[in-house]
């Protein structure tokens, strides 16, 4: 039997179901599922994703047998709908829509009203008893098909030719909206549309319905490879090999009169997660009108029940049934045709971090899911999205002051929560160019309407502001997914692309001027507004009571569920002080990396004296000056960590970071000062600095190589650690120091340093007449250490993967310079992700596995963690779980993310 390429759905029965997303794409699988559970869905069929792969691999060919299968399925659709495709009496019209395994909102193509020509349009007019509707549908079809399938080029001024014709006719007719055009005017537009196709492309607009259908199917499959779809997949790590399915479905019409509507709804709000069916709809309109933002849509939650009570009830029931069935918030597309509701799509809705947390917690409370599902399913709350709850917001008082100063411009729809201030930029292209020039630039992308074309610009902007479009417009949806602050539909804004101005009332701002949006409330202000910490942060910092913040309470509940299930411990990379306190507030279970050199930067004079010393005695004297400062710092860290383990790494960076030619150049007179300080001549200072200069400092005299050559530095640091530990212990506070030797490659290097550390420990304990349990271990951050881990574990009591250096040395890519080429690498799919953010599992990860196996083959209970930046990256955290690490360590703000990611992998891995 021929391979099955086409799956039919209709009349309560479907060939497929919701589990078949790989074959049918998300949309196709859910259309089948909805059909099977008795939700009204217009009949149709899905052509599989395999056909897309075949089509794109074979230069637009179809697999054998497809044509027959499509024709058979079309016959079934005709039967189910009681109409005939291409028939001049009772014509069936179809839509053709994309639908990949994971939703890619608005990134691929759709064609509606397929099957219309001069004959069928008249039949449709008779059948619907509405000539205007029929001609409007035909007009739309030519425009959509002309754009999407025939790819009618824009004019040399970048204008859409169809839109120009439409505008011309509206002007001639003296009307504002398309629905005010008469039948004769629409007929004239159709003629002009056909003419522009012929004149521009040199061929007629197709009239054969089967030719139209295959044209649309090919365009949908081809749209998998368009630029914005490719960019989107890269952003969300969707494999290019998947392909999209194509769904051909009988049209339901929302534009047959005032008892018709079309809309997109959410079974609960996806910006903040508030319960209740909501969304946008338009009466007497077709689907694309809502998402394209041509007319400002009405709100389901406030207006639909009054406008169409019957349809509202049907929809509300369907929304509840879908949530119960899918056990998650749904994003639906629907059409009301003469009072009857038809569902055209359902999918798990994209949501912000705020909404994700609230919806997960609410669904547990409503009994729809359990706690394990709430935290364990990374699709429900992508761990990274927790970040949004920690981002700054506007302080109400500061905002009120801006209001009092008369800076409030307008209020739109709050589509993506967050506070954003940035310089106005009016095109995505320009935003991208400005960002490439300066990564720190704060931009606000301001557009008339949201469009999927803006994806690249949205990615580099702090926030997005549009004058048109509703909360469900595609780009609003995407901005929420990106976690960007977003305000849409601020219709008092007038945006003039030619003059490069944005105005509201008498306020006129230019491109480059500052503007501010509050994505929680939809408010727009001219100028900058300062932000303040989020509610969760305020509670964590003790500035707000937990009971005053529902957001915090939900966050805390979720975190407690995550902690119950995760296996990995989560530590912090931090130094003493505020950051350490923050780390504790975020739930760290110890310090995985205290970089001691950060403290040296505060005592740079003593450090410089040490560097300039050319004999042991002088160096020792300089080092001794540093000791009390280090001790004080360590004491502070031990106290803050109150009994949690603290890993302190010995001095690591090349010495020239403290003193180099650059310092001498940037600080005039420094050479003289140093000469006075050390009793040397200015020439000697310059000579010594020149001696220290290295061509390749990252591979030079750094890490344990410093301690090996200057053992007195190691001795001083170890003494400071143990003295501090004893002092804190004397105050009744538990201490667990873990001394970590950096950049070890040879067991002998480790042994050399370990000896000094242990000698100092013994000496201090004897002096203080006490004893403290401590550990000595090493970083695994160069390939030799991973490869020889079995040997190194003969000495080291713990390992911590320094994946920053391990990535640098494994890939041979300088961690300080890779920014010049890695964007190109990502853009061209040479690497799947930035290897300095997400562990390169095939390379660096393989070395980590070798390191774990080697280390534990020598020392079965070897404690192993990670302290490179990757320790706070969800995918890397999950990898660390998989290879059996004991903990991850990351910067304090990433701790909640790491806790959640660790629970997600623990709950989903076997």
Which residues are designated catalytic?
A: 474, 867
Compute the least distance from the CB of residue 799 to ligand PEP, in Å: 12
Q: Which of ligand PEP, Mg ion, none interacts with 304 (beta carbon under 5 to 8 A by kind)? A: none
CA 28, 34, 37, 43 dihedral sign is: negative
Compute the least distance from the CB of residue 870 to ligand PEP, in Å: 8
Distances in Å between the Cα of 861 and the Cα atoms of 565, 847, 867, 884 are 22, 19, 19, 11
Supply angle C-alpha 261, 265, 268, rounded to 5: 150
Sites for Mg ion among residues 15-34 (CB under 5 A): none
In 3D space, the residue among 583, 584, 585, 611 whose CA is nearest the CA of residue 597 turns out to be 611
Structure tokens at 298: 């009405």
Find the binder of ligand PEP among 652, 738, 791, 873 (CB under 6 A): 652
In 3D space, the residue among 22, 24, 21 whose CA is nearest the CA of residue 7 turns out to be 24
Q: Is 805 in the site for ligand PEP (CB under 6 A)?
A: yes
Site string for ligand PEP, 192-211 (x = CB under 6 A): --------------------
Of 236-244, 331-339, 783-791, 796-804, the window that binds ligand PEP (rule: CB under 6 A) is 796-804
- Contact between 469 and 293 (Cβ < 8 Å): yes
- Contact between 297 and 415 (Cβ < 8 Å): no
Element (H, E) at 420: strand 419-425
Structure tokens at 60: 């637009």
Q: Which of Mg ion, ligand PEP, none interacts with 620 (beta carbon under 5 to 8 A by kind)? A: none
Q: Which of Mg ion, ligand PEP, none interacts with 262 (beta carbon under 5 to 8 A by kind)? A: none
Find the binder of ligand PEP among 318, 413, 458, 867 (CB under 6 A): 867
Q: Is 587 in the site for ligand PEP (CB under 6 A)?
A: no
Task: Name the CA dihedral angle for 457, 461, 465, 469, rounded to a multiple of 10 degrees.
Answer: 40
Of 310-318, 445-453, 801-809, 846-854, the window that binds ligand PEP (rule: CB under 6 A) is 801-809
Q: Is 597 in the site for Mg ion (CB under 5 A)?
A: no
Element (H, E) at 531: strand 531-532
- The DSSP output letter for 549 is -
Q: Which of Mg ion, ligand PEP, none interacts with 595 (beta carbon under 5 to 8 A by kind)? A: ligand PEP
Q: Which is nearer to Mg ion, 760 or 809 (CB)?
A: 809
- Contact between 893 and 540 (Cβ < 8 Å): no
The span from the CA of 736 to the CA of 774, in Å, is 6
Q: Which is nearer to Mg ion, 407 or 649 (CB)?
A: 649
Structure tokens at 431: 């935003």
The span from the CA of 291 to the CA of 470, in Å, is 7
Strand order in the sheet with 494-496: 494-496, 501-504, 507-510
Q: Is 705 in the site for ligand PEP (CB under 6 A)?
A: no
Compute the least distance from the CB of residue 702 to Mg ion, in Å: 9
- Contact between 773 and 731 (Cβ < 8 Å): no
Find the binder of ligand PEP among 212, 346, 481, 803 (CB under 6 A): 803
The span from the CA of 780 to the CA of 788, in Å, is 10
Of 250-258, 577-585, 653-661, 797-805, the window that binds Mg ion (rule: CB under 5 A) is 797-805
b/e map 530-540, b = 16+ CB within 10 Å:
ebebbbbbbbb
The span from the CA of 672 to the CA of 691, in Å, is 18
Q: Which is nearer to Mg ion, 410 or 800 (CB)?
A: 800
- Contact between 58 and 178 (Cβ < 8 Å): no
Q: Which is nearer to ligand PEP, 589 or 805 (CB)?
A: 805
Structure tokens at 539: 């509670």
Q: Which of Mg ion, ligand PEP, none interacts with 803 (beta carbon under 5 to 8 A by kind)? A: ligand PEP
Residue identified by tokens 């079974």 is: 267
b/e map 555-569, b = 16+ CB within 10 Å:
bebbbebbbebbebb
Compute the least distance from the CB of residue 636 to ligand PEP, in Å: 20
Q: Which is nearer to ligand PEP, 467 or 888 (CB)?
A: 888
Helix axes 604-612 and 616-641, enclosed angle (nearest 10): 150
Beta-carbon count within 10 A of 711 CB? 16
Of 326-334, 683-691, 730-738, 800-808, the window that binds ligand PEP (rule: CB under 6 A) is 800-808
Compute the least distance from the CB of residue 637 to ligand PEP, in Å: 17
Site string for ligand PEP, 760-789 (x = CB under 6 A): ---------------------x--------
Query: Within 13 Å and on the Cβ side, how many CA atoms surround 676?
Result: 4
Q: Which is nearer to ligand PEP, 521 or 804 (CB)?
A: 804
Compute the least distance from the CB of residue 741 to ligand PEP, in Å: 12
Q: Is 841 in the site for ligand PEP (CB under 6 A)?
A: no
Of 324-332, 725-733, 803-811, 823-831, the window that binds ligand PEP (rule: CB under 6 A) is 803-811
Compute the least distance from the CB of residue 806 to Mg ion, in Å: 8
Q: Which is nearer to ligand PEP, 488 or 848 (CB)?
A: 848
Q: Is 595 in the site for ligand PEP (CB under 6 A)?
A: yes
Q: Which is nearer to ligand PEP, 11 or 804 (CB)?
A: 804
Q: Is 802 in the site for Mg ion (CB under 5 A)?
A: yes
Q: Is 759 helix (H, G, I), strand (E, B) or coil?
A: helix
Q: Is 868 in the site for ligand PEP (CB under 6 A)?
A: yes
Q: Round to the nearest angstrom and report the end-to-end CA distance of the chain.
A: 37
b/e map 836-858, b = 16+ CB within 10 Å:
bebbbbeebbebbbbbbebbbee
Structure tokens at 535: 């509610």
Site string for Mg ion, 773-792 (x = CB under 5 A): --------x-----------
Q: Is 804 in the site for ligand PEP (CB under 6 A)?
A: yes
Query: Total number of residues binding Mg ion (CB under 5 A)?
Result: 3
Q: Which is nearer to ligand PEP, 413 or 646 (CB)?
A: 646
- Contact between 152 and 161 (Cβ < 8 Å): yes
Q: Which of Mg ion, ligand PEP, none interacts with 867 (beta carbon under 5 to 8 A by kind)? A: ligand PEP
Q: Is 874 in the site for ligand PEP (CB under 6 A)?
A: no
Compute the least distance from the CB of residue 867 to ligand PEP, in Å: 5
Compute the least distance from the CB of residue 503 to ligand PEP, in Å: 48
Sites for ligand PEP among residues 715-734 (CB under 6 A): none
Binding positions for ligand PEP, rule: CB under 6 A: 593, 595, 652, 781, 802-805, 867-868
Interface with Mg ion (CB under 5 A): 781, 802, 805
């Amino acid at each position: 039997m021929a391979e099955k390429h086409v799956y039919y759905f209709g009349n309560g029965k479907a060939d497929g179901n919701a589990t078949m997303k790989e074959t049918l794409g998300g949309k196709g699988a859910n259309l089948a599922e909805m059909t099977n559970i008795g939700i009204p869905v217009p009949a149709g069929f899905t052509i599989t994703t395999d056909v897309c792969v075949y089509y794109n691999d074979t230069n637009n060919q179809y697999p054998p047998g497809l044509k027959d299968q499509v024709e058979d399925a079309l016959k079934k659709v005709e039967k189910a709908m009681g109409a005939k495709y291409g028939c001049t009496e009772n014509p069936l019209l179809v839509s053709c829509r994309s639908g990949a395994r994971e939703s890619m909102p608005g990134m691929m193509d759709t064609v509606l009203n397929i099957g219309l020509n001069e004959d069928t349009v008249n039949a449709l007019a008779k059948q619907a008893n509405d000539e205007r509707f029929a001609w409007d549908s035909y007009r739309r079809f030519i425009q959509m098909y002309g754009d999407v399938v025939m790819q009618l080029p824009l004019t040399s001024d970048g204008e859409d030719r169809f839109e120009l014709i439409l505008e011309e006719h509206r002007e001639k007719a003296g009307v504002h909206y398309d629905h005010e055009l008469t039948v004769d005017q629409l007929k004239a537009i159709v003629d002009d549309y056909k003419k522009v196709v012929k004149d521009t492309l040199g061929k007629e607009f197709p009239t054969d319905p089967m030719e139209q259908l295959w044209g649309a199917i090919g365009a949908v499959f081809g749209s998998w490879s368009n630029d914005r779809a490719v960019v989107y997949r890269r952003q969300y790590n969707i494999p290019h090999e998947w392909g999209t399915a194509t769904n051909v479905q009988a049209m339901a019409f929302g534009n047959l009169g005032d008892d018709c509507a079309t809309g997109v709804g959410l079974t609960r709000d996806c910006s903040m997660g508030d319960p209740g069916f909501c969304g946008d709809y338009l009466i007497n309109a077709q689907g694309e009108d809502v998402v394209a933002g041509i007319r400002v849509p009405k709100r389901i939650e406030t207006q639909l029940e009054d406008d169409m009570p019957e349809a509202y009830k049907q929809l509300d029931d369907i929304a509840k049934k879908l949530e119960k069935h899918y056990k998650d918030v749904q994003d639906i597309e629907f059409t009301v045709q003469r009072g009857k509701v038809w569902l055209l799509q359902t999918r798990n809705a994209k949501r912000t971090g705020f909404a994700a947390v609230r919806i997960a917690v609410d669904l547990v409370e409503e009994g729809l899911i359990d706690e394990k599902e709430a935290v364990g399913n990374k699709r429900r709350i992508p761990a990274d999205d927790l970040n949004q709850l920690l981002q700054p917001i506007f302080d109400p008082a500061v905002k009120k002051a801006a209001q009092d100063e008369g800076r409030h411009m307008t209020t739109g729809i709050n589509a993506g929560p967050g506070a954003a201030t940035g310089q106005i930029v009016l095109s995505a292209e320009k935003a991208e160019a400005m960002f490439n020039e300066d990564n720190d630039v704060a931009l606000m992308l301001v557009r008339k309407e949201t469009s999927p074309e803006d994806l690249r610009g949205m990615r580099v902007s702090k926030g997005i502001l549009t004058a048109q479009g509703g909360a469900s417009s595609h780009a609003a949806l995407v901005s929420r997914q990106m976690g960007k602050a977003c305000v849409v539909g601020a219709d008092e804004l007038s945006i003039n692309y030619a003059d490069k101005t944005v105005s509201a009332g008498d306020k006129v701002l230019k491109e480059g001027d500052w503007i501010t949006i509050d994505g929680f409330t939809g408010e727009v202000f001219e100028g900058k507004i300062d932000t303040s910490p989020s509610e969760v942060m305020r509670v964590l910092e003790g500035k707000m009571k937990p009971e005053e913040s529902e957001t915090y309470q939900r966050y805390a509940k979720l975190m407690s569920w995550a902690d119950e299930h995760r296996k990995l411990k989560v530590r912090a990379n931090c130094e003493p002080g505020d950051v350490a306190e923050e780390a504790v507030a975020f739930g760290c279970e110890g310090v995985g990396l205290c970089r001691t050199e950060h403290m040296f930067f505060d005592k740079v004079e003593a450090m410089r004296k040490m560097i300039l010393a050319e004999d042991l005695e002088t160096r020792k004297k300089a080092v001794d000056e540093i000791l009390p400062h280090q001790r004080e710092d360590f004491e502070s860290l031990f106290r803050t960590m109150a009994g949690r383990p603290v890993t302190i790494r010995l001095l690591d960076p090349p010495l020239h970071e403290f003193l180099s030619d650059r310092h001498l150049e940037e600080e005039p007179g420094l050479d003289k000062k140093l000469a006075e300080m050390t009793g040397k001549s200015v020439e000697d200072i310059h000579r010594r600095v020149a001696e220290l200069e290295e061509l390749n400092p990252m591979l030079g005299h750094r890490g344990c190589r410093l301690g090996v050559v200057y053992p007195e530095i190691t001795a001083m640091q170890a003494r400071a650690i143990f003295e501090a530990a004893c002092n804190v212990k004397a105050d009744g506070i538990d201490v667990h120091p873990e001394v970590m030797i950096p950049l070890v490659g040879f067991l002998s290097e480790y042994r050399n340093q370990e000896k000094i550390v242990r000698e100092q420990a013994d000496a201090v304990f004897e002096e203080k007449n006490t004893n403290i349990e401590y550990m000595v271990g090493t970083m695994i951050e160069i390939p030799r250490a991973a490869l020889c881990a079995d040997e190194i574990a003969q000495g080291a009591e713990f390992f911590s993967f320094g994946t920053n250096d391990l990535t640098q040395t494994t890939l041979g890519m300088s961690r300080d310079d890779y920014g010049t080429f890695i964007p190109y690498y990502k853009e061209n799919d040479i690497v799947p992700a930035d290897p300095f953010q997400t562990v390169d599992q095939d390379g660096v990860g393989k070395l980590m596995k070798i390191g774990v196996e080697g280390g534990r083959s020598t020392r079965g209970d070897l404690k192993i963690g990670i302290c490179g930046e990757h320790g706070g990256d969800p995918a890397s955290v999950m990898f660390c779980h998989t290879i059996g690490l004991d903990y991850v360590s990351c910067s304090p703000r990433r701790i909640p993310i790491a806790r959640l990611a660790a629970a997600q992998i623990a709950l989903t891995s076997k």
